[in-house]
């Protein structure tokens, strides 16, 4: 059971649930919030921070530890112009590191990467923004990570699935100017090049091995003056051997602690454009509606045919609303619609089919005459698809943005991408789906479910396109070749988790799943309908969950690479349980 199950509970049942799952303290804090009392979440976070701190004894043991790879480390603090004072703060903050073989330098002027590498013979470079403050174990933990194998569960067939990191980054938070309070943690996903194209998510401190920098030392990379954005793009372009330590190991100092700690715009769009040009990608970078974030609009090569598959049983008013939005509120016109008729009983339904086929010759009806099985119905309908791309679409959806299909195709049609999902909203415009996170609730859940859009608390996730482990098949686009390669939907999953399962099969094949928040639809599924509402359906639901958990046991145990272990597994709002 998880927080998604509470939608159909009364107040007493909810109270018992929260006491059992979270304990007395959390339940009281939640109740106070509901009653309108102010609850200081920053003090809760400070308590958590204190629990994570290394003791003096632990730091002393770290200073004596010997690794196979014991690098000389040079820390470069950016200190050009007005950053000089904050650079001094950061340089001082590095003096108490438990890893002793390190020195700190402040870069007071621009220098090329070639100059930097000639100047220092370090094996590892730490790049730190002015005003950042490392935890005392920062360098130790980065070096330790560079000495450990990282295992990839989604490497793809024939690809290396174990590596030693060439770049290491960590989570971060903010520290008040007096240095006494730590607030606003930012828990990051594992390596996400697409997220990097939306904003500089890695942050103001990371460690890089010299051998990676040597690969592009004679390029035009701009090391300083852009929040490390250009340097990070070059690193991500030259290696996938990038590790993420899911611990808060540095802080940013600043008075503005009420907002998400993103970098100010210092012409950063230019560095995204430079990256895309080097990669040979035809795209336009636009400012998003939220300062500091960007929207990459990839240009579609050619005009691929899209086969839209819509399972349907009666409810022609709902189906017609969906089809009318595709026909009249949609800027991408090279598509066909395949309605997968599934045991309808109302005569009006079949009359509607005949009528709609005459309205537009791109609409076709195929007839599934066996018992209901969502996976089997979609597999059956896909056999009739002529398109290079498939779009699995629920009949109770309606396009919001006329660019939605274009946005999805522009992501899904790219090399290395197997599927793409969209941002779905309930009728009241709260979020129904913002990607799928595995392991939440013991299996999987829709990210940002039931939350309002563009909330500061989870800014990076409601406004940024990025990789996900899965997306819902209420609106899921997939290359037909990839769909066929992974064997389509697993027909043992009649109702539940078949979309998550096929996405994980796509990931295991080495292809990416993309989520695009600029592809927007309403999904009129009821928020309060519950998962299953009869004993028979509940039994089937539980049976399918058990099958899914057995099939993906290793992956569920490891957790979602795009979701941080410090965030709750009870909800999908990217918060902590403390």
pLDDT digits (tens, 9 = 90+) for 152-207: 999 888 788 899 999 999 999 999 988 889 998 999 999 999 999 999 999 999 99
Overall average pLDDT of the 419-445 stretch: 95
The answer as to whether 563 is a domain residue is no
Answer whether residue 262 shows pLDDT above 60: no
Angle (CA) 107 108 111, round 5°: 60
Q: Within this chain, do residues 317 and 399 fall inside the same structural domain, yes or no?
A: yes
The answer as to whether 569 is a domain residue is no
Q: Within this chain, do residues 141 and 162 fall inside the same structural domain, yes or no?
A: yes
State the CB neighbour count (10 A cutoff) for residue 228. 26
Overall average pLDDT of the 41-60 stretch: 88
The answer as to whether 46 is a domain residue is no
Q: Which pLDDT score, from 0 to 100, does residue 285 have?
A: 97
- For 121, the 3-state DSSP assignment is coil
β-sheet bridge partners, residue 168: 207, 243
The answer as to whether 33 is a domain residue is yes
Answer whether residue 379 shows pLDDT above 80: yes
Lowest mean pLDDT among 68-77, 105-114, 277-286, 420-429: 105-114
Q: Within this chain, do residues 353 and 382 fall inside the same structural domain, yes or no?
A: yes
Greatest distance between any 2 Cα atoms in the chain:
81
Q: Within this chain, do residues 67 and 127 fall inside the same structural domain, yes or no?
A: yes
Tokens, residue 271:
């560095």
Overall average pLDDT of the 345-355 stretch: 97
Per the model's pLDDT, the better-predicted residue between 351 and 158 turns out to be 351
Answer whether residue 134 shows pLDDT above 70: yes
The answer as to whether 49 is a domain residue is no
At residue 185, what are phi and psi to the nearest 5 degrees? -65, 145
Judge contact between 358 and 444, C-beta under 8 A: no
Judge contact between 94 and 73, C-beta under 8 A: no
- Cα(463)–Cα(460) distance, integer angstroms: 6
The answer as to whether 567 is a domain residue is no
Residue 297 belongs to what H/E stretch?
Answer: strand 294-298
Residue 409 belongs to what H/E stretch?
Answer: helix 404-412
Judge contact between 171 and 566, C-beta under 8 A: yes
CATH of the domain at 312: 3.90.550.10
The answer as to whether 576 is a domain residue is no
Q: Within this chain, do residues 215 and 293 fall inside the same structural domain, yes or no?
A: yes
Q: Within this chain, do residues 79 and 167 fall inside the same structural domain, yes or no?
A: yes
Q: Within this chain, do residues 376 and 523 fall inside the same structural domain, yes or no?
A: yes
Q: How far apart are the first and last CA of the chain?
A: 19
Question: What b/e string do you get for 406-431 counting C-beta neighbours within 10 Å, with b at 16 or more?
Answer: bbbbbbbbbeebbbbbbbbbbeeeeb
Answer whether residue 237 shows pLDDT above 90: yes
Tokens, residue 19:
């006491």
Q: Which pLDDT score, from 0 to 100, does residue 461 have?
A: 83
Report the candidate in 225, 227, 213 with the shortest Cα–Cα distance to residue 115. Answer: 213
Tokens 């697993």 found at: 490
Q: Within this chain, do residues 414 and 470 fall inside the same structural domain, yes or no?
A: yes
Q: Within this chain, do residues 367 and 293 fall inside the same structural domain, yes or no?
A: no
Overall average pLDDT of the 229-256 stretch: 94
**524-537 pLDDT tens trace:** 986 544 455 688 88
Overall average pLDDT of the 565-571 stretch: 91
What distances in angstroms separate CA 543 from CA 493, 539, 549, one per listed residue? 9, 6, 10
Judge contact between 393 and 309, C-beta under 8 A: yes
Answer whether residue 240 shows pLDDT above 80: yes
**512-560 pLDDT tens trace:** 999 999 999 999 986 544 455 688 888 999 999 999 999 999 999 999 9
Tokens 């979602």 found at: 560
Tokens, residue 543:
């049976």
**CB neighbours of 375 closer than 8 A, spacing ≥ 6?**
488, 489, 490, 491, 492, 493, 494, 498
Which of 249, 276, 297 terminates a domain? The answer is: 297
Judge contact between 126 and 249, C-beta under 8 A: no
Expressed in percent and rounded to 5, the helix, strand and coil fractions of the chain are: 35, 25, 40
Judge contact between 123 and 73, C-beta under 8 A: yes
The answer as to whether 21 is a domain residue is yes
Overall average pLDDT of the 54-72 stretch: 96
Q: Within this chain, do residues 96 and 169 fall inside the same structural domain, yes or no?
A: yes
What distances in angstroms separate CA 399 from CA 327, 413, 456, 521, one per listed residue? 10, 20, 25, 4
Answer whether residue 2 shows pLDDT above 70: no
Answer whether residue 10 shows pLDDT above 90: no
Q: Within this chain, do residues 356 and 285 fall inside the same structural domain, yes or no?
A: no
**358-377 pLDDT tens trace:** 999 999 999 999 999 999 99
- Gyration radius from the chain CA atoms: 25
Measured in residues, the chain has a length of: 578
Q: What is the mean pLDDT of the chain?
A: 91
Q: Which pLDDT score, from 0 to 100, does residue 530 have?
A: 46
Judge contact between 328 and 398, C-beta under 8 A: no
The total number of structural domains in the chain stands at 3
Q: Within this chain, do residues 239 and 385 fall inside the same structural domain, yes or no?
A: no
**Residue 26: which domain range?**
3-39
């Amino acid at each position: 059971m998880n927080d998604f199950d509470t939608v159909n509970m009364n107040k007493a049942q909810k109270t018992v649930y929260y006491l059992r799952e979270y304990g007395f303290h959390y339940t009281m804090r939640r109740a106070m919030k509901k009653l309108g009392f102010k609850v200081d979440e920053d003090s809760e976070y400070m308590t958590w921070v204190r629990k994570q701190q290394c003791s003096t004894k632990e730091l002393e043991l770290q200073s004596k530890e010997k690794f196979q790879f014991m690098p000389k480390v040079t820390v470069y603090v950016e200190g050009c112009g007005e950053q000089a004072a904050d650079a001094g703060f950061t340089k001082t903050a590095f003096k108490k590191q438990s890893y002793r073989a390190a020195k700190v330098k402040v870069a007071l002027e621009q220098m090329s990467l070639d100059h930097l590498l000639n100047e220092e013979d370090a094996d590892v470079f730490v790049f730190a923004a002015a005003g950042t403050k490392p935890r005392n174990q920062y360098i130790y933990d980065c070096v330790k990570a560079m000495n450990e194998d990282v295992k990839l569960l989604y490497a793809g067939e024939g690809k290396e699935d174990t590596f030693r990191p060439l770049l290491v980054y960590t989570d971060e938070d903010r520290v008040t100017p007096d240095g006494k309070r730590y607030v606003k943690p930012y828990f990051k996903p594992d390596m996400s090049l697409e997220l990097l194209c939306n904003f500089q998510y890695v942050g103001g401190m990371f460690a890089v091995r010299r051998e990676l920098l040597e690969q592009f030392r004679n390029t035009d990379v701009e090391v300083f003056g852009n929040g490390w954005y250009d340097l990070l793009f070059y690193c991500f372009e030259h290696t996938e051997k990038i590790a993420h330590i899911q611990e808060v190991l540095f802080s940013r100092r600043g008075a503005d602690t009420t907002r998400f700690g993103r970098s100010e715009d210092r012409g950063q769009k230019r560095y995204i454009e430079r990256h895309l040009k080097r990669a040979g990608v035809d795209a336009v970078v636009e400012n998003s509606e939220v300062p500091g974030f960007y929207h990459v609009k990839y240009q579609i090569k050619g005009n691929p045919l899209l086969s839209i598959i819509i399972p349907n049983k009666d409810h022609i008013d709902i189906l017609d609303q969906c089809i009318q939005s595709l026909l009249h509120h949609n800027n991408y016109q090279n598509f066909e619609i395949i309605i997968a008729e599934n045991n309808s009983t109302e005569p009006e339904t079949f009359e509607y089919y005949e009528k709609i086929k005459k309205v537009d010759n791109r609409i076709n009806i195929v007839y599934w005459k066996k018992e209901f099985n969502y996976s089997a119905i979609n597999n059956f309908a896909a056999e009739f698809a002529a398109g290079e791309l498939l779009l699995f679409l629920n009949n109770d959806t309606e396009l919001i943005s006329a660019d939605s299909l274009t946005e999805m195709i522009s992501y899904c049609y790219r090399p290395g991408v197997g599927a793409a999902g969209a941002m779905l909203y309930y009728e009241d415009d709260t979020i129904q789906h913002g990607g799928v996170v595995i392991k939440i609730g013991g299996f999987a859940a829709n990210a940002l479910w039931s939350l309002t859009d563009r909330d500061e608390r989870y800014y990076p996730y409601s406004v940024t396109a990025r990789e996900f482990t899965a997306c819902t098949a209420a609106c899921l686009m997939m290359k037909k070749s990839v769909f066929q390669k992974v064997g389509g939907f697993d027909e043992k999953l009649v109702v539940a988790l078949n979309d998550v399962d096929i996405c994980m099969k796509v990931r295991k094949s080495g292809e990416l799943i993309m989520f695009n928040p600029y592809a927007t639809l309403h999904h009129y599924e009821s928020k309060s309908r519950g998962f299953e509402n009869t004993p028979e359906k509940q039994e089937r639901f539980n049976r399918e969950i058990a099958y899914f958990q057995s099939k993906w046991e290793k992956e569920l145990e490891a957790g979602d690479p795009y979701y941080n272990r410090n965030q709750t597994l009870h909800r999908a709002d990217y918060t902590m349980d403390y």
